[in-house]
Structure 1
């Protein structure tokens, strides 16, 4: 169920592109101490496509080894980096360049690059935008990792208890769906929040057959509350998880039941699942 992390890296590059005038942006994910360059915006040649940058070599290799941003105003004359990739860099016409690592739980998962073809330093606006994009990307990767970890643990626990894997996985999907929605409302970044809510929507649709293009009749908060109720939470428990007062939870729940034409909490959950609103 995990989306392609490459898409998340490309989204991070587009965030930087929207905030700066950098003509060249690219990135790569890290595997076994090597940055595999795979996402590009503004590349003129194929020189850097598919390049593998090893730890400690070049600018990206330094960012990987040091786990902090590094930059040079003129790559050709810089004496603070190795020049293993000079031919590739010159082929693309790169002069000024910065590399920012994406760090998740003290591990570098990738590197974001921003470059210009002039010799002037990139400036604070560009480097700050890259650093913020790297932080947001790290948060998203951490969330994806946690979802994967919980699914694996639940499957292992289900095996130990002799429960069917399908049943155990379904229950864990429901927990993950509810938690994603709860996390989304604490995320300040609108784009990341929308992506988390979209991921929860996709989880809700697994195995369901909702009406094509049928919009949800529930408000986002009504769906948040119903997702917690579906896990067996009381109004007070749902309120604690969603930072809402119990009376507010009760109000949202009443609204959800009315819109779903359900007379009980259980009936509302069953109807929501049948319509693909909950997993």
Structure 2
């Protein structure tokens, strides 16, 4: 689980303890379709639970994942409602009554929140409501976090495209101006744009025209439009593209663009 989401889960567990009064709240994260790893805790623990891998369908957490709904057992060690594969660990922690609620995102369980008592006392509906509410809160936070990341990625992609467009335009201008000093200044600006790419260290050596063609292809230009922009023939563009693809080890225009950007040859 990414670090920001780990913080979300930890804060939810603290709220579970504060609102329900359980001495221990903890959480397991699904590391695969059939494995739940316990790794977040709020409250006193002897450490027996930390890092335990729970199989889906077994124990309380595994049962909750398989059912996709909250569940309560008044005495973990004796209840017939779950398997007892993890009784030894639960005994070492001195836990008895326990509740668990799944965190479900896009109809898929991603984690389980637990609350536990050291006595076999009944866990009331209010305590379970608190746990279920916090599970829903974590779900909403995960969805919101994903949306923020997607929005940030979209903004980054749009900014990258604008930089690539500026780069391609500046290279075209540098080839057309008659003033040598101005052409040098434009070329220097394109180098600054390339240097802004963290991957700017590369062993691939493209010619200026090959780089022009790749930068325009990155904007989605067709060969005909690239030819018109550069003032050359379509066949010449195809030749430059073929040479650039060979140097980049690419089998398609898209792969050439992606490889060139990864190699720091595009902003």
Tell me what 2:32 maps to.
32
Instruction: For 2:66 and 2:157, locate their aligned partners in 1 and report how far apart those are by CA, in whole Å.
Output: 35
Residue segments in structure 2 that go unaligned for 5+ positions in a row: 167-267
CA distance in 2, matches of 1:54, 1:70: 16
Counterpart position of 1:75: 76
Please name the residue that 1:12 is paired with.
12
Question: Any idea what the Cα deviations from partners look like across 1:97-127, whole Å, max 9, x if unmatched?
Answer: 0110111221212110001111112111211
Question: In structure 1, how many angstroms separate the alpha carbons of the residues matched to 2:139 and 2:58?
Answer: 23
Output the CA distance in 1 between the equivalents of 2:61 and 2:124: 18
* Matched residue count: 163
Separation in structure 2 between the aligned mates of residue 32 and residue 43 of structure 1, nearest angstrom = 28
Give the unaligned 5+ runs of structure 1. 168-279
2:25 match: secondary structure: strand
**TM-score, length basis structure 1:** 0.54
Aligned mates of 1:149, 1:29 — CA distance in 2: 22
State the partner residue of 1:119: 120
Q: Report the CA distance between 1:154 and its aligned residue.
A: 4.5
Q: Deviations 1:151-208 (Å, cap 9, x if unpaired)?
A: 334445666xx4338x9xxxxxxxxxxxxxxxxxxxxxxxxxxxxxxxxxxxxxxxxx
What is the aligned-residue RMSD (CA, Å)? Answer: 2.1
| CA distance in structure 1 between the partners assigned to 2:163 and 2:3 by the alignment | 25
Please give the alpha-carbon distance, in whole angstroms, between the structure 2 residues aligned to 1:67 and 1:153.
33
For the pair shown, which has the larger CA radius of gyration, 1 or 2? 2
The residue correspondences of 1:158-169 to structure 2 (distance < 5 A) are 162-164=161-163
- Structure 2 CA distance for aligned equivalents of residues 153 and 61 of structure 1: 37
CA contact (8 A) 1:13 1:41 kept: yes
Q: Aligned partners of 1:44 and 1:157: how far apart in 2? A: 48
- The 2-side partners of 1:81 and 1:150 are apart by 42
Normalized against structure 2, the TM-score is what?
A: 0.57
